[in-house]
């Protein structure tokens, strides 16, 4: 009896084939096989939200291969990923096969495993089940909701703001988080405050204490708010102390810190961003490689459990294995008396998933190091260490708190310190934090109540309150999870979408909203408040969870959402175009009010009289000098030349120009492209002058004694030496790169470009598959075959399967292309005539046409 197992990924198929042997044929669907037709009406709101699907074109050949294999199989096992998305893919495959009448008298079952090991796979096949329709319906409802929001709200944004914009059910609340944080920062007013400190000395051991009580009153953050006040307090305390302070209280405690839970998708993404410098999408791509299987010498095996999960639980067998490892490799006190169980906080934790852990704790990072690339090793190492640490004893500290009185007990300073006395889990793993402040662990001398110590000095430290920090990838994922916005599998795509739509910029690893992002958010929060509300979004996610658990029907849920949403769309069809915001300033040219406006350059200040008769064309940048003008925006006047610096737009994007072109003059005004990392709305005179200082002469190359220049061109910033060009990477700035850095960059050019990342070994051939960035954008390469990445695929989110498809398609194009020129030259008379009459430019171009002409 022949058996067919269907999975999503060819990498996983290869691993499973080794486990299952010749009894099974294993094929991959290469991800999703069907999706909604990309046109209006794909979800029929008048007919119980019937959904019109079509096979995804790029995967049609894989569907055909599966259909062909089904004809020869008696049993079909659907082994797609163990989540709602995987369940939906299994259902789509089953529906396609049913429509082709291929399932008559055949057994079709769903099998689920959370780790790719021989035992887990064999157990799953021994216990198959039917497709879970509640899970499928939850995924269908999610897809229908996303479609209805996108297809109805996005055209409204095109009409009211500009074309190409989009709104999403989950991305819009995420954008709101980023914009609101930016508004908080802009509205923040810094306040001055002072803290008072005392440096005490016992024998040769000095330590610092902070004032906590002054004249029997508690010292708060804003008790001391200026220099004069702190000077007065410090002077009085110095007089009262007479160079001595008394120990009035000593408190000793033992504190413990428990290990953190094993990784979920969210916490893995956060930690990979903090500790490894990955993006969330890169972390998920590498985790998928570790899950699907790596050849570690003794055969291909999945190194970690399924990476899309919000559960903290670990299988009892895995806990036993981890505890046994701790027992064998650490002292007895490192192993708790009983297993540590972690309760999942998320109400939405999907099904019976486990936390992310190694499939075998005895497979240490060191033992697999030689089989993994750097990124795979780093991610596997933190997953392995976190899983091991979660079953280890708490760390123990000796904590001491001491109060020192000055003059009397009315004035108290406090010093605290702690000492690690037993590392426990910290010996293996310590969790990272966002916006970590450096807190030195002070060790206090042995002190007793009543002791008199020497005062070295009493002094004040000035501080200023700081605004809340902008979100980074890790902190954004954390807040999305806290609000219940999105689910583990969607965090990376939410962030990618916001960046792709140019709603936010990632600058110094922090998100800043663009002008367009601000305008879109303002429009949505004013007119579709309910649909960017955090609670509404979270409640809708919870409702979808209820559908997946079989507690709620999906069609009534859709009907309830659509009724209100459709009414809102109709009601807002005629709202005014947003983006123009009056400011409290009159136009210096005509006296009419000025307003903020959104253009292709970003936000600028313009006159409200632009459409009046007579027209007032006054405009300026947000930070630039106020000047009149028609097309360009005047930034200011260059101090050296006395010419105006203009912000203009060209075929390759915005650029700065020094003065206007004068008719009759041959010399054109200097122009320099605006680097992408510089926000257009933030360009001021200083920034513009810096940009126009390009090209920069960096000095002479130490080997050739020829000049090296840094500049910006059509394809971005570069260095040029002796006619050779090398792109400046994003990690460097064209304004800051020095001679040494440029020489190193040019040296790297001779050894070939460094890959952006490695996707792993080719499943059937030798060599690595790597992603590079080139002159015309990112591309994937294996051997000599290169395939350009489509604009829809970010280099960091590219999977091995997608790379294989691109390379296969490229190979198919290259082969016939090699024969084409011969055939064309042999048969085409038209071509011969054209070449023969073409102007001769070289001896090589003479020979062929002359021979053909005489032959004819």
What residues act catalytically? Answer: 306
Contact at 8 Å (CB) between 247 and 449? Answer: yes
Q: How far is CA 630 from CA 61, 511, 616, 646, 648, in A?
A: 55, 33, 9, 11, 11
Q: How far apart are CA 208 and CA 439, in angstroms?
A: 13
Peptide bond into 232 cis (omega under 30): no
Structure tokens at 404: 């020192």
Dihedral angle, C-alpha 385, 386, 391, 395, nearest 10 °? 90
Structure tokens at 89: 């893919």
Q: How far apart are CA 55 and CA 93, in angstroms?
A: 10
DSSP 625-656: --EE-SSSEEEEE-TTT-PEEEEEEETTEEEE
What residues contact 507, with CB distance under 8 A and at least 6 apart?
Answer: 677
What residues contact 384, with CB distance under 8 A and at least 6 apart?
Answer: 358, 361, 363, 364, 365
Query: Pick from 507, 15, 527, 72: which is nearest to 291 by CA?
Result: 15
Half-sphere exposure at residue 214, Cβ-oriented, CA atoms within 13 angstroms: 17
What residues contact 596, with CB distance under 8 A and at least 6 apart?
Answer: 579, 580, 581, 583, 603, 604, 605, 622
Q: How far apart are CA 129 and CA 143, in angstroms?
A: 24
DSSP3 helix / strand / coil % (the chain, rounded to 5): 40, 25, 35
Half-sphere exposure at residue 23, Cβ-oriented, CA atoms within 13 angstroms: 8
What DSSP character marks residue 577?
P
CA angle, 289 then 292 then 296, to 5°: 80
Sole residue written with tokens 């930690």: 271
DSSP 92-141: HHHHHHHHTT--TT-EEEE---SS-SHHHHHHHHHS-B---HHHHHHHHH
| Burial 577-611, CB ≥16 within 10 A → b, else e | ebbeeeeeeebeebeeebbbbbeebbbbbbbbbee
Q: What SS3 state is found at 244? A: strand
Q: How far apart are CA 473 and CA 412, in angstroms?
A: 42
Burial classification of residue 684, based on how many CB atoms lie within 10 Å of its CB (0-12 exposed, 13-18 middle, 19 or more buried): middle
What residues contact 247, with CB distance under 8 A and at least 6 apart?
Answer: 402, 403, 404, 447, 448, 449, 450, 451, 452, 453
For residue 652, the tally of other CB atoms under 10 A from its CB is 10
Question: In terms of DSSP bridges, do strands 716-721 and 707-713 run parallel, antiparallel, or are they unpaired?
Answer: antiparallel
Find the helix or strand (DSSP H, E) in which 785 lies. strand 785-788
Q: How far apart are CA 110 and CA 135, in angstroms?
A: 13
Query: Pick from 305, 316, 320: which is nearest to 265 by CA?
Result: 305
Query: Pick from 657, 237, 311: which is nearest to 488 by CA?
Result: 311
β-strand partners of 673: 655
């Amino acid at each position: 009896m022949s058996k067919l197992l269907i999975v999503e990924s060819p990498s996983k198929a290869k691993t499973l084939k080794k486990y299952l042997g010749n009894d099974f044929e294993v094929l991959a669907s290469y991800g999703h096989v069907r999706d909604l037709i990309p046109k209006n009406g794909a979800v029929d709101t008048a007919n119980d939200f019937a959904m019109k699907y079509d096979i995804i074109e790029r995967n049609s050949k894989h569907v055909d291969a599966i259909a062909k294999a089904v004809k020869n199989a008696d049993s079909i096992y659907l082994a797609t990923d163990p989540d709602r998305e995987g369940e939906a893919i299994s259902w789509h495959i089953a529906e396609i096969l049913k429509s082709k009448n291929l399932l008559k008298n055949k057994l079709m079952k769903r099998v689920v495993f959370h780790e790719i090991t021989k035992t887990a796979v064999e157990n799953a096949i021994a216990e198959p089940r039917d497709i879970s329709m509640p899970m499928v319906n939850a995924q269908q409802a999610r897809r229908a909701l996303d479609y209805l929001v996108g297809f109805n709200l996005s055209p409204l944004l095109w009409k009211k703001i500009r074309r190409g914009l989009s709104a999403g059910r989950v991305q819009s609340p995420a954008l709101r988080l980023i914009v609101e944080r930016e508004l908080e920062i802009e509205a923040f007013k810094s306040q001055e405050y002072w803290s008072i400190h005392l440096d005490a000395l016992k024998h040769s051991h000095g330590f610092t204490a902070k004032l906590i009580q002054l004249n029997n009153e508690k010292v708060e953050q804003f008790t001391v708010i200026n220099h004069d006040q702190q000077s007065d307090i410090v002077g009085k305390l110095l007089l009262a102390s007479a160079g001595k302070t008394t120990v009035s209280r000593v408190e000793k405690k033992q504190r413990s810190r428990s290990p953190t839970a094993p990784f979920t998708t969210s916490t893995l993404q956060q930690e990979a961003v903090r500790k490894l410098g990955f993006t969330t999408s890169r972390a998920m791509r590498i985790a998928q490689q570790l899950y699907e299987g790596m050849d570690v010498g003794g055969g291909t095996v999945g190194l970690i459990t399924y990476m899309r999960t919000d559960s903290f639980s670990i299988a009892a067998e895995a806990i036993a294995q981890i505890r046994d490892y701790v027992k064998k490799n650490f002292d007895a006190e490192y192993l708790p008396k009983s297993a540590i169980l972690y309760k999942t906080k998320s109400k939405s934790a999907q099904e019976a998933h486990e936390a992310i852990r190694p499939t075998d704790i005895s497979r240490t990072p060191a033992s697999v190091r030689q089989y993994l690339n750097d990124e795979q090793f780093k991610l596997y190492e933190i997953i392995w260490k976190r899983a091991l640490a979660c079953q280890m004893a708490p760390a123990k500290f000796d904590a001491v708190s001491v109060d020192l009185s000055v003059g009397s007990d009315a004035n108290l300073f406090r010093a605290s310190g702690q000492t690690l006395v037993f590392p426990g889990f910290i010996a293996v793993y310590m969790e990272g934090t966002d916006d970590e402040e450096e807190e030195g662990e002070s060790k206090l001398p042995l002190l007793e109540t009543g002791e008199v110590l020497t005062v070295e000095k009493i002094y004040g430290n000035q501080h200023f309150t700081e605004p809340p920090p902008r979100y980074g990838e890790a902190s954004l994922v954390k807040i999305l999870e806290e609000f219940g916005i999105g689910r583990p599998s969607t965090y990376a795509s939410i962030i990618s979408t916001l960046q792709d739509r140019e709603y936010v910029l990632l600058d110094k690893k922090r998100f800043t909203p663009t002008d367009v992002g601000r305008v879109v958010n303002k429009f949505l929060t004013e007119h579709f408040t309910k649909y960017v509300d955090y609670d509404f979004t979270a409640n809708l996610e919870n409702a979808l969870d209820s559908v997946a658990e079989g507690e709620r029907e999906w069609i009534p849920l859709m009907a309830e959402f659509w009724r209100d949403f459709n009414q809102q769309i109709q009601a807002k069809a005629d709202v005014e175009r947003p983006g123009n915001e009056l400011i409290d300033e009159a136009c210096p040219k005509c006296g009419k009010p000025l307003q903020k406006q959104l253009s292709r350059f970003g936000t600028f200040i313009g006159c409200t009289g632009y459409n009046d008769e007579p027209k007032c064309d006054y405009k300026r940048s947000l930070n630039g000098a106020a000047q009149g003008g028609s097309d360009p925006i005047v930034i200011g006047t260059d101090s050296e030349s006395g010419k105006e610096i203009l912000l203009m737009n060209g075929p390759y994007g915005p650029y700065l120009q020094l003065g206007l072109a004068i008719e009759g003059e041959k010399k054109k005004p200097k122009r320099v492209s605006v680097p992408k990392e510089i926000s257009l709305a933030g360009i001021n005179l200083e920034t513009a002058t810096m940009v126009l200082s390009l090209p920069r002469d960096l000095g002479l190359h130490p080997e050739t004694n020829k000049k090296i220049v840094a500049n910006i061109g059509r394809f971005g910033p570069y260095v040029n030496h002796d006619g050779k060009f090398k792109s400046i990477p994003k990690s460097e700035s064209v304004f800051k790169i020095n001679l040494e850095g440029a020489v190193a960059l040019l040296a790297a050019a001779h050894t070939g470009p460094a890959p952006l990342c490695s996707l792993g070994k080719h499943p059937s051939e030798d060599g690595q598959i790597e992603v590079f960035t080139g002159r015309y954008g990112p591309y994937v390469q294996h051997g000599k075959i290169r395939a350009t990445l489509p604009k829809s695929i970010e280099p960091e989110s590219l999977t091995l399967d997608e790379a294989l498809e691109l390379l296969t398609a490229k190979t198919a194009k290259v082969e016939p292309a090699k024969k084409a020129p011969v055939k064309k030259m042999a048969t085409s008379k038209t071509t011969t005539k054209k070449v023969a009459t073409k102007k001769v430019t070289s001896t090589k171009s003479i020979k062929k046409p002359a021979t053909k002409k005489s032959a004819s």
